Structure 1
């Protein structure tokens, strides 16, 4: 009796497995048919990049003067400002490339700690006068040369601070169009590779959206960001863009 039950169990198991195999084959065949009919999509991400060189430099200098009285602070500021302007002209920085903001005057204070009362007290510490000078130029070599040697003015007791130059690429619209074109071609090639692996071909474009456009320093360790990065510290840069495309197979 036990032998008959075992044989019956084997027979039922064979029938179940056979049914499952037939159903699986039908699903595979049906899925491939739907794939060919375009119910499935080919989703790809294309990418393009290009090495670019900055064509505009922006350099910021802050001129200052500090003294116990407001008039004395202005006098010190004017002296430093005159020497800075003279230095820029002598080194071929054109006046047309120079812009300034308004002069600011701030009353200064300093904190003094009193040991007897164990408290800090604010005391007057004179006045500070400041103005930002911005050089915006397409002549990068001249600006870089002046920037590299302006520290010699500290030896003349000129009160100023200098920021690192910022580098920009001004033809961004043309660059985006070029990269979008190349990224679209790359996306289509990727779709073709996927379709060939499935014994199909690429059909019509269903949708296409621009992904991340960003500029990073060339040969730098700067990280790419999903939010996009716009490098201004390097003169030599690399621009890249991604595009997400969806095709129907055929």
Structure 2
């Protein structure tokens, strides 16, 4: 009986030793594998020129509750002045969107609680065109609308690039090549097969800007833009 127990203990000890060797060998293989794997970030950029311009503006009137009809009539006249201004500056009808009148009741202070209710009537103007220069020029001439008595407020033009998806496809292999070169530069070894890759967000920036965001950036203030993409890639090293 005692001999059987000794035999069992010897077998268990032997199996434990073998299993331990297997685990150690596997760990060494894993360590060697990780030693030959490098994760790097690559990037590529392309300078483009915007092909869409947007210009947002609005005009408004204040009117009391007892003369709202007159307020709406004034808005109609203002809209005609705005449309004529746009057309005189080369904006076609299909490039113009003017929203219906919206009405907002103005806040009353305690001191004038008994005064009539006053409302602000507003219409938004949206211009979208592929003629970048035309939009840039007209946005600088809006003073002529104000001189005709229209309470006109305009924002700076916004510029967009419509072929962003095409640019992303063109930039992806360049970013991959940049990642491979970085891997070889860092390791001093030849980068082998690509093991994994993930693409970061697209950044549309002012030229030479470093103002990037983890969630992506789309600057609309300049006609020229710099598109940048990044990739995170892992390579085996030779």
Whether these two folds match at TM > 0.5 is: yes
Paired position in structure 1 for 2:53: 57
| Displacement after TM superposition at 1:77 (Å) | 0.7
Please list, as runs of the form range in 1=range in 2, the aligned pairs for 1:30-41 lying within 5 A after superposition.
Answer: 35=32, 40-41=36-37
**Equivalenced residues, count:** 210
Paired position in structure 1 for 2:106: 108
- The C-alpha deviation readout for 1:101-143, integer Å capped at 9, x for no partner, is 3321233343243xxxxxx847434232211111000001111
Normalising by structure 2, we get a TM-score of 0.80
> Secondary structure of 1:110's partner?
coil
Provide structure 1 residue ranges, at least 5 long, that are not aligned to the other structure: 1-30, 114-119
Match for 2:74 among 73, 76, 82? Answer: 76
Match for 1:184 among 173, 176, 186? Answer: 176
- The C-alpha deviation readout for 1:209-235, integer Å capped at 9, x for no partner, is 002320111245x62222221111121
| 185 and 112 in structure 1: CA distance in 2 versus 1, 3 angstrom threshold | same
Paired position in structure 2 for 1:47: 43
Q: Give, in whole Å, the separation in 2 of the partners of 1:109 and 1:79.
A: 26
Paired position in structure 2 for 1:208: 197
Paired position in structure 1 for 2:164: 172
Q: Give, in whole Å, the separation in 1 of the partners of 2:225 and 2:116.
A: 48
Q: Give, in whole Å, the separation in 1 of the partners of 2:60 and 2:42.
A: 51
| Displacement after TM superposition at 1:51 (Å) | 1.3
| 146 and 91 in structure 1: CA distance in 2 versus 1, 3 angstrom threshold | same
Provide structure 2 residue ranges, at least 5 long, that are not aligned to the other structure: 1-27
Q: Give, in whole Å, the separation in 1 of the partners of 2:115 and 2:220.
A: 41
Q: Give, in whole Å, the separation in 2 of the partners of 1:75 and 1:210.
A: 55
> Secondary structure of 1:212's partner?
coil
Match for 2:207 among 214, 218, 241? Answer: 218
Q: Give, in whole Å, the separation in 2 of the partners of 1:237 and 1:146.
A: 22
Paired position in structure 2 for 1:143: 135
> Secondary structure of 1:76's partner?
helix
